[in-house]
Amino acid sequence: MHEVDLKAASRTRLQTVSFSLILLLAFACGGSTGSADRAATSQEDDLARRRATMVEDQLLARGIRDKRVLEAMRTVRRHRYVPGLDATHAYDDRPYPIGEGQTISQPYIVALMSELANLDPPCRVLEIGTGSGYQAAVLAEMGCDVYSIELIESLGIQARKILDGEGYGDRVQTRIGDGYAGWPEHAPFDAVVVTAAAPRVPQPLLDQLRIGGRLVIPVGVFRQELEVHTRRKDGFKRKKIVDVRFVPMLGEVREAR
Ligand code: SAH
């Protein structure tokens, strides 16, 4: 009897403790947060899971190994850079239109170019073709100072707003104009990443690399190849990587030499 009473008492204590714990948890999780905020948090969680899957299935599976690139692509909210797109599709294995006939590159291509740039902070990178701002954000998330030039004004303005909203206000500088001449005021760069296909390699971009720095650029008109040009003390070393398909680089690069 005595024993039975003790058990009952401890059961009641246990129930009280669990009840208080549940209350505490409910406050901790819910607290002052409204149901709209909770829904937004759970959507962000879902999108973070989609990013993790993208990194596994599209990047690691295809041989991307640079830890900074993988971590940056797990972090940057790609769905914010494609206005009007259903966020749940932002992590699919494909490019998307961003307006003005331009596109945000496929995640794998962004990762490949970022890896080929071979960056370690402190690093300073020039990007030609800001487009959506996504590639610039990935480079910034890797720990670099990024300078990015966009030819089409409306895209440049839109990317600037998104980059500021996503917290890259300090780490990404943008400019509207023709990227052909680079951004000599901020040279030399550890890397220059061109995200539009050039019919020929712009000499000013090569000239703005530091010794050991790399230009990553799709070259060609009908058939395009991704190339890496590494600056050496005595010139440049060129390496062809893979066939690619980018929108054309416009402006001065198309004028006859
Ligand atoms: N890096 C972008 C991809 C943009 S697509 C992203 O992550 O979304 C290529 C971009 O290059 C387009 O926005 C296009 O307008 C721009 N572009 C084309 N020629 C250019 C030039 N000469 N100078 C600067 N930007 C250029």
Determine which residue's CA is closest to atom 10 belonging to ligand 1: 129
Question: Could you say which of 10, 32, 42, 105 is catalytic?
Answer: 105
pLDDT band at residue 12 using 50, 70 and 90 as cut-offs: low
Q: Is the CB of 155 under 6 A from ligand 1?
A: yes
Q: Tell whether the model's pLDDT for residue 29 goes beyond 60.
A: no
pLDDT digits (tens, 9 = 90+) for 207-237: 999 999 999 999 999 999 999 999 999 999 9
- Could you tell me the pTM of the whole model? 0.87
**101 part of a folded domain:** yes
Known catalytic residue at 105: yes
**238 part of a folded domain:** yes
Query: In which domain, by residue range, is 193 found?
Result: 61-254
Q: What is the CATH number of the domain that holds 212?
A: 3.40.50.150
Mean pLDDT of 85-113: 96
Instruction: Indicate the burial class of 118 (C-beta count within 10 angstroms; 0-12, 13-18, 19 or more).
Output: middle
The pLDDT value recorded for residue 118 is 98
Instruction: Ligand 1, residue 178: give the atom nearest the CA.
Output: 23
Instruction: Ligand 1, residue 103: give the atom nearest the CA.
Output: 5
The pLDDT value recorded for residue 34 is 82
**39 part of a folded domain:** no
Mean pLDDT of 146-150: 99
**40 or 241: whose pLDDT is higher?**
241
pLDDT band at residue 30 using 50, 70 and 90 as cut-offs: very low
**154 part of a folded domain:** yes
Alpha-carbon span 191 to 166, nearest angstrom: 23
252, amino acid identity: E
Mean pLDDT of 54-71: 98
**45 part of a folded domain:** no
Q: How many domains does the chain have?
A: 1
**187 part of a folded domain:** yes
Alpha carbon of 191 to those of 10, 80, 228, 235, 242: distances in Å?
67, 25, 10, 16, 19
